[in-house]
Structure 1
């Protein structure tokens, strides 16, 4: 998910997507522990998406506090 796509989303949509991505990461980690994933880069991509979502939420929170 690109930053431009995330910025177009509302805060509640970002929070929902963040929860989904965290659940997905847990599932991927469990599957990877049991048997190697076909594409282990999915773990890295999921973590990066979570980081992007958190970053945009934090930016918006800081902008609200400054106003």
Structure 2
């Protein structure tokens, strides 16, 4: 649970442009992880799930910032 709280605190201070850049980076990392997992199983396949959740949290923060503006 603390990872979620720490992650939310770290993205709250970012601007909209920074959030969108982070979103694109995370999506690219997810594609690479999924590709690597398709070739040979990852040591920790749960990392894919946690990255997907992080992407969803960033997307939520982006939508909140857009609603404020």
Same fold (TM over 0.5): yes
Q: Describe how 1:30-49 pairs up with structure 2 within 5 A.
A: 30-49=35-54
Structure 1 runs not aligned, ≥5 long: none
Larger RCO, structures 1/2 (Cα 8 Å, 6+ apart): 2
| TM-score between both structures, scaled by the size of structure 1 | 0.89
Aligned to 2:67: 62
The structure number with the bigger radius of gyration is: 1
CA RMSD in angstroms, aligned pairs only: 1.1
The answer as to whether partners of 2:16 and 2:66 remain within 8 angstroms in 1 is no
Q: In the comparison of the two structures, how many residue pairs are matched? A: 64
